[in-house]
Amino acid sequence: MSATLFYVFGIALIVSAISVSAIGLRFENFPPNRGILAGTILYFALLVGGTAVFAVLHARDDQREREAEQAAATTTTSTTPSGGPVQLAADPSTIAYTTTSLGAQAGNVTIDFSNPNPAIPHDVCVQAGSGAAQCSKQITNGKTTLNLKSLKPGSYTFFCSVDSHEQAGMKGTLTVK
């Protein structure tokens, strides 16, 4: 709304300035008296004022739109916050995870693991450092989490420790940055 008025005032100002210049050039005695001079000055003052006011309103509208866009973008991002839990799922129809690569930020990392298969149990293990691998519970048709403390940047193998699932290809790389 204020954008349209801004352009209306702006165009009226330009057209008026050109008209008055043309009149001034054609008639040597323009302005003919103080009344018309004062009226012309007042008219321009109003046009300039109006243009300025609507320019400010227009800028505010733009800013509000940008803020609304930013708010929307923030909402979208917050559903997958950086540093939040890493999502991992087992493929319900074969011995595999649905991905072979995971990413996480250095520090404490939580892996949310789900296994929709009602018959074959799975877990998720991560070999971090030289000690024993850290594993989640083995689950069937459910969800669990694996909490890994203070992971340093690097590449880690994640795998399923059930039977020979790892050898069958149920593994991948967790990249920590």
> Could you list the residues that contact Cu ion (CB under 5 A)?
122, 160, 162, 165, 170
Least distance (Å) from Cu ion to the CB of residue 136? 11
The residues, any chain, with a CB within 8 Å of residue 67's CB and separated by 6 or more, are none
Q: State the minimum distance, in angstroms, from the CB of residue 147 to Cu ion.
A: 19
Nearest to 90 by CA among 151, 166, 176: 166
- CA quadruple 166, 170, 172, 174: dihedral sign: negative
Taking phi over 0 as left and psi of -120 to 50 as alpha, with beta for the rest, 15 belongs to: alpha
Closest CA to 13 of 1, 21, 3, 23: 21
Nearest CB to Cu ion, comparing residues 53 and 171: 171
| Residue 58 or 165 having the CB closest to Cu ion | 165
By beta-carbon proximity to Cu ion, the closer residue of 40 and 157 is: 157
Residue 87 CB, nearest approach to Cu ion (Å): 17
At its nearest, how many Å lie between Cu ion and the CB of residue 99? Answer: 14
Residue of closest CB approach to Cu ion: 160
